[in-house]
Structure 1
Amino acid sequence: MKTAAKYKNIEDNLLPSGEAGRGFGVYIHIPFCKQACHYCDFHFSTSMKKKDQLVEMLCKELELRKNELPEKEIRTIYFGGGTPSLLTPEELQQIFTAIFANYQVAENPEITLEANPDDLSEEKLKMLKASKINRLSIGVQSFFEEDLELMNRAHNAKEALESIQLATKYFDNISIDLIYGIPNMSAARWLQNLQIALDLGVPHISSYALTVEPNTALHKFIEKGKIKPVDDEAAKAHFEIMVSMLKNSSFRHYEFSNFGKDGYFSQNNTAYWLGKSYLGIGPSAHSYDGNFRKWNVSNNSLYIKALKKDKLPMETEELSTTDKYNEYVMTRLRTQFGVDITEVEEFFGAKYKTHLLKNAVVLLKKELLESRNQVLHVSPKGKFLSDGIASDLFYLD
């Protein structure tokens, strides 16, 4: 069976109308936050002084890049950040006007907005419901005050709970983010976090291990001994608890950090993992068309300055066959799709298939990988090690 036909069946189950292959995604980076989380190394500013100008330039970039991709239409739109829930109704409408004026948009696109709990008042939710947004991704991270204070989140535990209770009145398609492996987080408290999420009835959970990135406040606090170091064994235990608990609650573990009930997988992220094209709009946003990766400058002032002159403030990298193969292995091993041996040969050539099979032998013997119908999957034993397993299969020029 040709892989294009096989993966069309997967897409039919994930994306509306089975038209995933015909479209592309748009990611819009909103680089503003009320305050800096201690663990975050994304591009953002806590000053709102340039928000009006930046929204105007987002619209300018959308217009300038309207003919960049050959794909027919937009199938997903994702507002990330930063904190997109800081946008006013007028700013949100301004961006939508630019999108719909310059692009063909699918009939029923998935349109996601990342939101912080402290922004989700009933008035705000009514506004979002009246807009084109049809999916919320709520950055809860934890339902416990101690964890939220350690991470320097802008919301408290009460707001975390109440935001979801309110959101479910207006939205059906809701995802929440949770973080595990937080210093001093016991297995019991992690279980409680998960149980609260289940009791609230959310159909999608994205969950990430707390990581210590260089030059973040968390990194400095750990170095100075103010916060305990992250315990990898505790994080692994939390991960295993989550996998078991969510599986028993009818969630499908469709990507390493993502769990969804049927019909609620992230269409935006699934398209990324299947290698679909996407435009990244805004400072620091990345784009991909199958052959080139592009990224915008991570500086609000420089971004605005360039676009005022009708210039795109981006760098471009052409991907080699080896780059594409390594990215394919990395993304597919993290998902339920796995690494298809036939597809590797079809997409990248016999050399890469031979390399893959040779390097997979040891991992199969260690029971870190499983082979089913010529597709390699990370085994339950290897789940928490998927990134390391992928690196063992990389081709190094």
Structure 2
Amino acid sequence: MGAIYIHIPFCKQACHYCDFHFSTSMGKKAEMILALQKELQLRKGEFRDEVVETIYFGGGTPSLLSVDELTHIIRAVYTHYKVGENPEITIEANPDDLSRDKIIGLGSSPVSRLSIGIQSFFDRDLKWMNRAHTGEEARKCLSVAREYFDNITIDLIYGIPGMDHKRWRENLDMVLEYNIPHISAYALTVEPKTALDKFIRSGKAPAPDETHAGEQFTILTDVLRHKGFVHYELSNFGKEGYFSRNNSSYWLGKKYLGIGPSAHSYDGRNRSWNVANNAIYLKSLNKGELPQETEVLTTTDRYNEYIMTGLRTIWGVSLKRLEEDFGTGYYRYLLKETKKYLDNGLLDIRGEVLRTTVKGKFLTDGIASDLFYVD
């Protein structure tokens, strides 16, 4: 079983915190759509033995494409790949793109899941992040989307400077009012070379406070747990039956194919990625070439990745699988390195599975990186 990710590299404007690949110039949109279909055709041999379970449109802002444009790309997947019954087909969307007509059109298309980038319902936060939509647009699009889609997830960001705990709780309360079955919530991070990074270094904006973010993470997990959400991955919360099938495939180590500029792929042993440049990508595809680089993952690379992805999820790190896949040396190394985290209650081993505790959850990424094996 496999997943296909399709990167749509266009946005209306740049969010201050974002370091994903995109362009605010849409003059090459039609050419890009043809190139994406061409790449799908050229790479069909890589998934010859796979059944596609999920198709995910990310970006960038996929909702800038029309329903017809999205449908053409989806048809290309069905033409060149074996697609399972009832695949999860997700499109990331911004509220300002989701008019009633657009939502109705998506509801009539093969798209089965909406991932809506709300981030906050408050205009002061949205302006601070340089988001293109308003709080009113966020609320309006959710009201309409619930009429036509059952499977909806929304993104929220916490730890924003100036967002106090009261406003963060109000954000969560608004989500719950719409009976949204899945929430992805991320701590605001400062990525190098972003506008936010420049603002902080020049003193024009305050840096996020880790303690403040940690407190809001605790509020988040407490509120959603009491509302019946399962905290199945560090940043993801879903009602039963609404976990992201696409993202779960990444965390469980399944194969995935990344289509479009900057998109990454994984076949179980190798990782490859397309050039993060629209012009070079288009030029290459026009010549029938793949603008790709490939890295052969070492045993240590795969071990470290398993530690990171495993600890972030409720499925944890299987000590039995780890010893079988990576050998006794890595198994003993992990047990030695985890001792201090087991002793201070940040990690726990039950049923031969290593997991973070409630106390250690917010620190997961730091703990995982400390457990990495360094050659």
TM-score for the superposition, normalised by structure 2: 0.99
1:239-278 alignment runs, 5 A limit: 239-278=217-256
Aligned residue number for residue 63 of structure 1: 41
Q: 2:163 aligns with which of 185, 197, 219?
A: 185
Cα RMSD over matched residues? 0.7
Q: In the alignment, is residue 284 of structure 1 matched against residue 262 of structure 2?
A: yes
Q: 1:379 aligns with which of 347, 357, 365?
A: 357
Aligned residue number for residue 161 of structure 1: 139
- The SS at the match of 1:40 is coil
Q: Verify the 8 A CA contact 1:69 1:289 in the aligned structure 2.
A: no
Aligned residue number for residue 88 of structure 1: 66
| Aligned partner letter, 1:42 | F
CA distance in 2: counterparts of 1:56 and 1:364, whole angstroms: 52
CA distance in 1: counterparts of 2:48 and 2:303, whole angstroms: 22
Q: Verify the 8 A CA contact 2:158 2:186 in the aligned structure 1.
A: yes
Q: Verify the 8 A CA contact 2:317 2:353 in the aligned structure 1.
A: yes
Once the two structures are TM-superposed, the CA of residue 262 in structure 1 deviates from its matched residue by 0.2
Aligned length: 375
CA distance in 1: counterparts of 2:260 and 2:50, whole angstroms: 22
Q: In the alignment, is residue 175 of structure 1 matched against residue 175 of structure 2?
A: no
1:71-110 alignment runs, 5 A limit: 71-110=49-88
Q: 1:199 aligns with which of 177, 180, 188?
A: 177
CA distance in 1: counterparts of 2:272 and 2:105, whole angstroms: 33
CA distance in 2: counterparts of 1:250 and 1:160, whole angstroms: 23
Q: Verify the 8 A CA contact 2:261 2:274 in the aligned structure 1.
A: yes
Aligned residue number for residue 340 of structure 1: 318
CA distance in 2: counterparts of 1:103 and 1:375, whole angstroms: 35
Query: For 1:10-69, what per-residue CA distance to the aligned partner results, in whole angstroms no more than 9, with x for missing partners?
Result: xxxxxxxxxxxxx10000000000111010000000000010001100000000000113
CA distance in 1: counterparts of 2:50 and 2:123, whole angstroms: 46
| Aligned partner letter, 2:331 | K
Residues 70 and 100 of structure 1: CA distance in aligned 2, closer, same or farther (over 3 Å): closer
Query: For 1:127-174, what per-residue CA distance to the aligned partner results, in whole angstroms no more than 9, with x for missing partners?
Result: 101110000000000000100000000000100111111100000000
Once the two structures are TM-superposed, the CA of residue 71 in structure 1 deviates from its matched residue by 3.5
Q: Verify the 8 A CA contact 2:47 2:81 in the aligned structure 1.
A: no
Question: Structure 1: 5+ residue runs without aligned partners?
Answer: 1-22
After alignment, is 363-372 or 177-186 more displaced?
363-372
Q: Verify the 8 A CA contact 1:24 1:71 in the aligned structure 2.
A: no
Q: 1:302 aligns with which of 246, 255, 280?
A: 280
Once the two structures are TM-superposed, the CA of residue 70 in structure 1 deviates from its matched residue by 4.7
Aligned residue number for residue 373 of structure 2: 395
Q: Percent identity?
A: 59
Q: In the alignment, is residue 119 of structure 1 matched against residue 108 of structure 2?
A: no
CA distance in 2: counterparts of 1:252 and 1:306, whole angstroms: 43
| Aligned partner letter, 2:209 | D
Once the two structures are TM-superposed, the CA of residue 90 in structure 1 deviates from its matched residue by 2.3
CA distance in 2: counterparts of 1:72 and 1:342, whole angstroms: 26
Q: In the alignment, is residue 131 of structure 1 matched against residue 131 of structure 2?
A: no
CA distance in 1: counterparts of 2:258 and 2:102, whole angstroms: 26
CA distance in 2: counterparts of 1:90 and 1:179, whole angstroms: 31
| Aligned partner letter, 1:312 | L
Aligned residue number for residue 192 of structure 2: 214
TM-score for the superposition, normalised by structure 1: 0.94
After alignment, is 359-368 or 271-280 more displaced?
359-368
After alignment, is 69-78 or 183-192 more displaced?
69-78
CA distance in 2: counterparts of 1:164 and 1:71, whole angstroms: 38
CA distance in 2: counterparts of 1:390 and 1:217, whole angstroms: 28
Once the two structures are TM-superposed, the CA of residue 379 in structure 1 deviates from its matched residue by 1.0
| Aligned partner letter, 1:173 | N
- The SS at the match of 2:294 is strand
Once the two structures are TM-superposed, the CA of residue 223 in structure 1 deviates from its matched residue by 1.7
| Aligned partner letter, 1:395 | Y
| Aligned partner letter, 1:83 | T
CA distance in 2: counterparts of 1:347 and 1:309, whole angstroms: 40
Q: Verify the 8 A CA contact 1:180 1:207 in the aligned structure 2.
A: yes
Q: Give the 4+ runs in structure 1 shifted more than 2 A.
A: 69-72
CA distance in 2: counterparts of 1:32 and 1:64, whole angstroms: 23
